[in-house]
Structure 1
Amino acid sequence: MATIKLNAPTWEATTSNQSNTTTLWNKWLAIADTQAGNKTAWFLVSLMIQGVLFLPIPAVLMYYYDAPIVVLGVTMILFFANIIAGMGGSGIRTVLSFFTASVLIHVIMLAIFIL
């Protein structure tokens, strides 16, 4: 009786060239995974930074630099998205990614309207 072997012998298996692709995104995910135990702290830091630094940005930009009302909408959407991500049970990758995206978007808005 002939049996079918699913595993090839080691001498018969071909090895492929595996390249080590360490991208910036993979490094970011590795950093986020190491912070999994600090998820609540990151959520609270995110809320404090956004509440103290980012929520006043639309008022400053609209009053002093004549920015459109869209700036307020973007800020509020980012703020509530961070609240939902943190309180909704999302993983640490999501919480940190939302926080980082929020920081970058606010810095870009400041650069556009001030410079």
Structure 2
Amino acid sequence: MATLKINAPEWTAANTNTANVKANNNIWTKLIAFADSQAPNKTIWFMFSLVSQGVLFLPIPAFLLYYYNAPIAILAVTLVLFFGNIIAGMGGLGIRSLLGLFAFSVLVHITMLLVFML
């Protein structure tokens, strides 16, 4: 039995502008490529996010509230970010968004530490 294979034509334009190629190879492109390459490891990144936030970030509100008299909103921010990561990971959010949310929560917690400790 004969099988028909339909190959879609690939249209590529010759890129003669080498400056454009180098401009597209920036940090953002490398970050997106890294995130896309981690798609098979999505569950591992979700577990890493949960463990690292549970161990490193959940004690931050207690530390800031007790020693630096931080407002109670610090606790709310930490819990929203923690449960947001849980919902994102269990809900099947894409790897780019999952890594982005984890990086955002890391930046927020580092910023909170710097604001109240300095």
Q: TM-score range by the shorter chain?
A: 0.7 to 0.9
Mapped partners of 1:49, 1:82: distance in 2? 11
Mapped partners of 2:88, 2:67: distance in 1? 32
Q: 3-state DSSP class of the match of 1:90?
A: coil
| CA-CA distance at 1:17 after TM superposition | 4.4
Q: CA RMSD in A?
A: 1.9
Mapped partners of 2:26, 2:74: distance in 1? 32
| Unaligned residue ranges in structure 1 (runs of 5+) | 1-12
List aligned pairs for 1:1-115, cutoff 5 A: 17=17, 19-20=20-21, 21-115=24-118
| CA-CA distance at 1:24 after TM superposition | 2.5
Mapped partners of 1:29, 1:43: distance in 2? 17
| CA-CA distance at 1:31 after TM superposition | 0.6
Structure number with bigger Rg:
1
TM-score (normalizing by structure 1): 0.81
Identity within the alignment, %:
59
Mapped partners of 1:40, 1:51: distance in 2? 16
Amino acid at match of 1:31: F
Deviation track 1:22-65 (CA, whole Å, cap 9, x = no partner) reads 33222211111111111000000100001111011001001100
How many residue pairs align between the two structures?
A: 103
Amino acid at match of 1:78: L
Q: 3-state DSSP class of the match of 2:105?
A: helix
Mapped partners of 1:22, 1:78: distance in 2? 31
TM-score (normalizing by structure 2): 0.79
